[in-house]
A and B are shown apart, each in its own frame.
Chain A
Amino acid sequence: MAQLMGNVRNIDFSGLPEWEEVAGAFLVFFLGFLVLRIAIRIVMKAFTRGMRDQSRELLRKTLIYVGAVILFVMVLNTAGVSVGALLGAAGVVGIAVGIASQASLSNVISGFFLVSERFLEIGDVVRIGENTGTIASIDLLSVKVKTFDNILIRVPNQRLIEQDIFNITRFPLRRMQFTVIVPTQVPLNKVFEALETAADNVPDILQEPEPFIFFRAFTENGSEVVVGVWFERQNFVRVRNDMAQSIQAVFGERGIPIRSRAISVIEDIPQKSI
């Protein structure tokens, strides 16, 4: 015990900052923190008008990180800690961390390419692999996608850059196709006219670009006719439902039967006696 007390007495406290320096460092930290917050707010208000969501987010994060580093150095300086020695140590630690976190670094670099490519924006509806959802955030390491059944998916940037991404809502307009099968005996011009009327009866289907109708094939189920209609991207579900109802109604009125691909088995085939 006496030996331990002796060791404690022998510790040299002269290298540690004085209490005035510690207090100064605290003051610099709080003031700097306040100034940084206000500065970020001013910059964001002044320069981000008309900017895309993710560019705004990227600028905000960059300002936070750069500001935090500057503040950290200022606090250390005020506390009397030698920044030069610390930076040297940080370099060595940085190399070690860098080697250990290669995957994260590759995600960061992929994220940079992803943002600079401007293919994705926050709020876009995308299909990535089997998942479809809305881009919730584009971060340094990953992109978060919120699916329509309210599940948040985190996709690492590196994986994202290697696969096909379908941006469904990039353009203001979308096209939807409906395939109708009718008995082969029904004249095709009647079918075309009925489909035109059905499309015309749905106000959300755009007049221009005009709906297009084409005959696909005579199949064992009947004649296959395709109608493609254009609509504003946000009206997807409404147009799908309204157009299906409209086709049913118009075909019903005109007595044109709609067939499914199901195979019907006819039972009353006359049996031959062997």
Chain B
Amino acid sequence: MWGTIAFEDPEEVSFTLSELEVRIIHKDDSYRIHLDGNLLKNRVGISSGWNEVHIPPSSALSLEPATPDLPIVLRPQEPIALAPGAEISYRVQLPLWVRLVAVPGRNRKGSERDILFDLPAQTLKRTWFGTGESGEIGYSWRFLPRSTERYQKHLFCVPLIIRNSSQTVLWFERLLLRVIHLDLYRVARQIETNRVTVSFKGSEQLSQVTFEPPASAAQRGAKLLSEHRETANQDIIRRSFLWLRDLTT
């Protein structure tokens, strides 16, 4: 479903991805886009119902997957303890965002792509990562670390490695995953991101986060589907873990 949308006779395309329902009708030089669902509530720009869109004749509409627009606060179903030196690896599945993009044709100057909408495929609950005075807003996501990976069209997979490089036991209750720095690749049927390694450093719950292309990219013929929303340094030391006591103090 991803890539340039081909309109054939009848010039209508529709798709459903989890809670997001989209219908696009191409007529003459305009597009009529119909969106359904609660996902559009309180969003600026495109609204639920019919929207009329005009793009230059040489441009085409393209559908792109994207990562959520805010960090994800991962909460395992049950707290996990990591002894010093221990390492665990997960494949966390998160809901995709969908972008409708007007891709400029060859005749148009510049290569600016216009994003017509950027919506989640599933309603995500907002949450706070930090204290009452300072912190970061994100989306809350519970995951089952030991669950078997199940392919679902509206989910993408983050290969995640958590390493305890400190001298203390890490009680992993929440992890802030900055998905805005991740690229999306197609690996076989699944959409996968860069491999994320979070190395817990102990003091003040700071951690070193590294992003690498999927380990299997070369072997499995991974194809880049969409680039990260925001660029990150290769190695960033950020506050990534939060323990329950931080929220209660």
Q: Is B135 an interface residue (CB 8 A)?
A: yes
| A172 proximity list for chain B (CB < 8 A) | 128, 134-135, 137
| A172-B134, A232-B137 given; A209·B128 CB < 8 A | yes
Bits for B53-89, please: 1 = Cβ < 8 Å to A, else 0. 0000000000000000000010000000000000000
CA distance A143 to B192 in the complex (A): 53
- Cβ B133 vs Cβ A171 within 8 A: yes
Question: Interface size (A, Cβ < 8 Å)?
Answer: 14
* Smallest CB gap from B42: residue in A: A238
CA distance A172 to B130 in the complex (A): 11
* Smallest CB gap from B38: residue in A: A203
- Cβ B128 vs Cβ A230 within 8 A: yes
Q: Is A208 an interface residue (CB 8 A)?
A: yes
- Cβ A206 vs Cβ B128 within 8 A: yes
Q: Which of A201-225 contact B (CB under 8 A)?
A: 203-209
Q: Is A249 an interface residue (CB 8 A)?
A: no
| A230 proximity list for chain B (CB < 8 A) | 128
Q: Is B110 an interface residue (CB 8 A)?
A: no
Segment with Cβ contacts to A, from B10-18, B92-100, B118-126, B158-166: B118-126
Partner of B128, one of A173, A200, A203: A173
CA distance A165 to B84 in the complex (A): 49
Q: Is B190 an interface residue (CB 8 A)?
A: no
Partner of A208, one of B41, B42, B73, B124: B73
Interface hub of B123, B127, B129 (most chain A Cβ within 10 A): B127
Partner of A232, one of B123, B125, B126, B133: B126
Task: Kindly provide the distance from the CB of B216 to the nearest chain A CB, expressed in whole angstroms.
Answer: 33
Q: Is B5 an interface residue (CB 8 A)?
A: no
| A172-B134, A173-B132 given; A203·B124 CB < 8 A | yes
Q: Is B144 an interface residue (CB 8 A)?
A: no
Which of the four size classes fits the interface of chain B?
A: 10 to 19
| A173 proximity list for chain B (CB < 8 A) | 128, 132
| A208-B247, A209-B247, A238-B42 given; A203·B126 CB < 8 A | yes
| B48 proximity list for chain A (CB < 8 A) | none
| A203-B123, A232-B126 given; A208·B140 CB < 8 A | yes
CA distance A217 to B123 in the complex (A): 36
* Smallest CB gap from A202: residue in B: B125
Bits for A221-239, please: 1 = Cβ < 8 Å to B, else 0. 0000000001010000010
Task: Kindly provide the distance from the CB of A228 to the nearest chain B CB, expressed in whole angstroms.
Answer: 14
Interface hub of A171, A207, A208, A230 (most chain B Cβ within 10 A): A208
CA distance A170 to B48 in the complex (A): 34
* Smallest CB gap from A208: residue in B: B127
CA distance A203 to B41 in the complex (A): 10
CA distance A209 to B140 in the complex (A): 11
- Cβ A206 vs Cβ B124 within 8 A: no
* Smallest CB gap from A231: residue in B: B126
* Smallest CB gap from B142: residue in A: A207
Q: List the interface of chain A (C-beta within 8 A of B).
A: 171-173, 200, 203-209, 230, 232, 238
Counting from the closest, the 5 A-B pairs by CB-CB distance are A207-B127, A207-B140, A208-B127, A207-B125, A206-B128
30 interchain pairs, CB-CB under 8 A: A171-B132, A172-B128, A172-B134, A172-B135, A172-B137, A200-B125, A203-B41, A203-B123, A203-B124, A203-B125, A203-B126, A204-B126, A205-B125, A205-B126, A206-B125, A206-B126, A206-B127, A206-B128, A207-B73, A207-B140, A208-B73, A208-B128, A208-B129, A208-B140, A208-B247, A209-B128, A209-B132, A232-B126, A232-B137, A238-B42
Q: A209-B128, A230-B128 are in contact. List 5 more A-B contacts (CB 8 A).
A: A171-B133, A203-B125, A205-B126, A207-B140, A209-B132
Q: List the interface of chain B (C-beta within 8 A of A).
A: 41-42, 73, 123-129, 132-135, 137, 140, 247
